[in-house]
Amino acid sequence: MTISSVETAAVSAPTPERIERIRAAAFRIRHHALNMGEVQGQGYVGQALGAADMFAAVYADQLNYRAEDPHWADRDRFLLSTGHYAIGHYAALAEAGIVPVSELETYGSDDSRLPMSGMSTYTPGMEISGGSLGHGLTIAVGMALGLRAQNSTKRVINFLSDGELDEGSTWEAAMGAHHHQLGNLIAMVDINALQADGATNTVLRTEPVTEKWESFGWYTQRVDGNDVGALLAAFDNIATRRAAAGSSASGQPSVILCDTKVGRGVPLLETREKAHFMRIEENEWQICRDQLTAGYEGAASA
């Protein structure tokens, strides 16, 4: 498990049982995503596989929600800025029991509640419509301010991509969150080093990312986003700091920078060149599922 940060609170490591539970959830999320991708023969499958551990940590470990009442006023809010990651989010919503697993096969079809890009008016549990990149954190800041004004102890978690760090609005929101001391706000950035036009460091170099968030006043941790234990420990560190502050909604906002691998868990896709939007041949889907299962079971018995 690797965590690097300026300041890492000393908390006990997540138990093996907890890690295994989340790893199993991540495996199911990946499996769902492959099944959904197969309906269209293509899609943002690489992102869903890469971010599955992040989604699993959020939905199977962190989020307070009621599956039967997605609008429950006292829920934590999870905001997906990156609308194109919806396939991974739907898989997580199915894992959470908010969307029936049987509905996943409608993904991307006409009249489906699960369109290719995430839309709040279509899907239970989808808090915002996030396809226009760079808006999620601004909305999250507003929600966190609103919850604090209502004396709520609930949190807002915003999932961003590294491409969204190209957007000025993201940094305006980051600055605003620190100014308003939104201790109830957590950002998670999927640093997969990729964007639509190629590698992030060739489109717009955003590194050094850790130092940027720190200088914007955020409690910053950078972890291997495909290491469930590291993700859980990062959330635990945030919770420890918040508890020390009396569970107040005011305090330093937190960011978890997650280095991930596109296609993670399926070697055939981890090495695919056109990774932003993948075309996967008919005969390859079962190979993908087999590779995913072999990797998951192999790691469990290792």
Ligand X SMILES: Cc1ncc(C[n+]2csc(CCOP(=O)(O)OP(=O)(O)O)c2C)c(N)n1
| Cβ proximity of 147 and 156 under 8 Å | yes
Using rule CB under 5 A, residue 206 touches Mg ion: no
Among 21, 180, 241, 276, binds ligand X (CB under 6 A): 276
Using the CB atoms, write b or e for 230-258: b if 16+ within 10 Å: bbbbbbbbbbebbeeeeeebebbbbbbbb
Contact pattern for ligand X over residues 212 through 251, marking x by CB under 6 A = ----------------------------------------
Using rule CB under 6 A, residue 134 touches ligand X: yes
Using rule CB under 6 A, residue 254 touches ligand X: no
Using rule CB under 6 A, residue 257 touches ligand X: no
**42-43/254-259 β-pairing:** unpaired
H/E run at residue 200: helix 200-203
CB of 191 to Mg ion, least distance (A): 7
Gap between the Cα atoms of 89 and 65, Å rounded: 15
Question: Could you tell which of Mg ion, ligand X, none binds residue 132, using a CB distance below 5 to 8 A set by kind?
Answer: ligand X
**Closer to Mg ion at the Cβ: 42 or 181?**
42
Q: Which residue has the tokens 């279509």?
A: 122
Gap between the Cα atoms of 245 and 49, Å rounded: 36
Using rule CB under 6 A, residue 5 touches ligand X: no
Contact pattern for Mg ion over residues 169 through 198, marking x by CB under 5 A = -----------------------x-x----
Using rule CB under 6 A, residue 260 touches ligand X: no
Among 67, 196, 244, 300, binds ligand X (CB under 6 A): 196
Q: Examine residue 208 and say whether the peptide bond preceding it is cis (omega within 30 degrees of 0).
A: yes
**156-161/77-80 β-pairing:** parallel
**Closer to ligand X at the Cβ: 162 or 236?**
162
Contact pattern for Mg ion over residues 124 through 163, marking x by CB under 5 A = -------------------------------------xxx
| Cβ proximity of 162 and 260 under 8 Å | no
Contact residues for Mg ion, defined by CB under 5 A: 161-163, 192, 194
